[in-house]
Structure 1
Amino acid sequence: MEKLEERFERLERLAEYFIEEMADFKKWVVRFLSEYKREVDRQIREYKEETNKRIEEYRRENNKRWGELANKLGTIVEDIIYPAFRPVIRKYFGCEPEKTFMRLEYINREKGIYEEFDAVAVCQDKAFLLEAKSTPREKHIEEFKEKAKRFLQYFSEFGDKKLILIMASLSFKEDFVKQLSKTNIYAMAYREWEYMDILNFEEVKGA
């Protein structure tokens, strides 16, 4: 029968071995966690770099598209509104324009005056002044009315004709159209995105 002392010594050796193994396991766990943390940090860093790169690419592309859109809106008169100007006048006002002007300029170098009018059409007894806005705002209404007064001052040859004001855009909010109607300005825009049309003809005509 194994002596008690020998059994105790063997248990001590087993305990020492277990302690050494646990120490090695602890070192392995610490090393594993350290390596795992470095790997996670690396992936997070790469993800952030990739995300920032994509955000920057998106920002550049978005700026480019906005720039292209801004340039396109700059030609809204030439591309969309002006071609519809004469047909709209013919349809709603029953007259065939004798003359039409796009971006009619008034220049007075002595007084330092330069002003541009988006579109003008002239019938026998009427003159049509069109102002195009890519983003119509309430302040533009009063500015347009003041601009119309200057138009008659600059071009006295149209003074014997009834001046009709038309504000044009791709679309108008309903409240804005009502504001235009109150000031006797016609609203010209897409009707349900099908064709350019006068949206408040009856309201202004009956005023």
Structure 2
Amino acid sequence: MERLEDRVERLEKLGELLVREMLDFKLWASRMIAEGERRLEEYRREVDRQIKEYKEETDRKIAEYRAETDRQIREHKEETRNQIRENNKRWGELANKLGTIVEDIIYPAFRPVVRKYFGCEPEKTYMRLEYTNRQKDIYEEFDAVAVCEDKVFLLEVKSTPREKHIEEFKEKAKRFLEYFPEFTGKKLILIMASLSFNEGFVKQLSKANIYAMAYREWEYMDILNFEEVNV
């Protein structure tokens, strides 16, 4: 029969073994949990890295697409502008040869230019306004006239502008007021128009307080010296 001392000793050994196994299990479980957390963190970092790479790649492709689209738009705009310039130049040359520069090019732009720069809506516009006095044998034609409430615009068209045309235009403006006294109460504004002017001629017009109207870079008819004229 087993002695009490032996039984107690055996139970103590079993208890010690159980404690060691429990400690080993806790250590193993802690290691497994730590390993799981480590792997989970690695997985999260890998997912974040892939998301970041995907986002960077997507952003790069979007930026490249936008850059390419912008480049194509700029090229298309420039091609369109060049085509407009070329068409305007050819049309102007043809109108010049046919003698229809006033009807085809200058007159259609006259009213918009007056509205844009002088802030008034013409009440009336005339193309090739004629004055005739048979008794005095006088006939004179004015290329274009626009009448606003307090202003009247006299436009002279020259296919080949010359320096002498400036003084001739000023004298013609005096006769205009003599021929049409109904405009004497309005401010007279002189505009000389052509397909193009060289810079020196524009400066001469500015000194004479005459506006220069021509193609701006062969794109559209415009006043080239609005700030320089003092009227």
Shorter-chain-normalised TM-score: which range? 0.5 to 0.7
Q: 1:155-175, CA deviations, whole angstroms, 9 ceiling, x for partnerless residues?
A: 000000000000000000000
2:116 to 91, 110, 122: 91
Q: Corresponding residue for 1:136?
A: 161
Confirm whether residue 119 of structure 1 aligns to residue 176 of structure 2: no
Confirm whether residue 81 of structure 1 aligns to residue 106 of structure 2: yes
- Shift, 1:199, TM fit: 0.1
Structure 1 residue ranges without an equivalent (≥5): 1-67
Q: TM-score, normalised by structure 1?
A: 0.65
- Shift, 1:71, TM fit: 3.8
Whether contact under 8 Å (2:213, 2:223) holds in the other structure is yes
Whether contact under 8 Å (2:95, 2:101) holds in the other structure is no
Question: 1:147 & 1:131 partners in 2: Cα distance?
Answer: 9
Confirm whether residue 197 of structure 1 aligns to residue 222 of structure 2: yes
Question: 1:185 & 1:140 partners in 2: Cα distance?
Answer: 11
Question: 1:170 & 1:179 partners in 2: Cα distance?
Answer: 17
Percent of aligned pairs with the same residue? 84
For residues 50-89 of structure 1, the aligned pairs below 5 Å read 71-72=97-98, 74-89=99-114
Q: Write out the 4+ residue segments of structure 1 that deviate beyond 2 Å after TM superposition.
A: 68-72
For residues 40-59 of structure 1, the aligned pairs below 5 Å read none
Question: 2:216 & 2:171 partners in 1: Cα distance?
Answer: 28
Cα distance, 1:179–1:146 mapped onto 2, change above 3 Å: same
Whether contact under 8 Å (2:211, 2:223) holds in the other structure is yes
Question: 2:147 & 2:95 partners in 1: Cα distance?
Answer: 32
Question: 2:166 & 2:191 partners in 1: Cα distance?
Answer: 10
Question: 1:69 & 1:90 partners in 2: Cα distance?
Answer: 25
Cα distance, 1:69–1:152 mapped onto 2, change above 3 Å: closer
Question: 1:184 & 1:70 partners in 2: Cα distance?
Answer: 26
1:169 to 180, 185, 194: 194
Q: 1:138-167, CA deviations, whole angstroms, 9 ceiling, x for partnerless residues?
A: 000000000000000000000000000000
Question: 1:71 & 1:93 partners in 2: Cα distance?
Answer: 31
Question: 2:224 & 2:95 partners in 1: Cα distance?
Answer: 25
2:172 to 147, 152, 163: 147
Cα distance, 1:122–1:69 mapped onto 2, change above 3 Å: closer
- Shift, 1:69, TM fit: 6.4
Number of residue equivalences: 139
Cα distance, 1:125–1:174 mapped onto 2, change above 3 Å: same
- Shift, 1:120, TM fit: 0.2
Structure 2 residue ranges without an equivalent (≥5): 1-93
Question: 2:96 & 2:216 partners in 1: Cα distance?
Answer: 23
- Shift, 1:190, TM fit: 0.3
Question: Per the alignment, in what secondary structure is the counterpart of residue 121 of structure 2?
Answer: coil
Cα distance, 1:114–1:164 mapped onto 2, change above 3 Å: same
Q: Which amino acid aligns with 1:117?
A: F
- Whose radius of gyration is greater, 1 or 2? 2
Question: 1:70 & 1:92 partners in 2: Cα distance?
Answer: 26
- Shift, 1:70, TM fit: 5.2
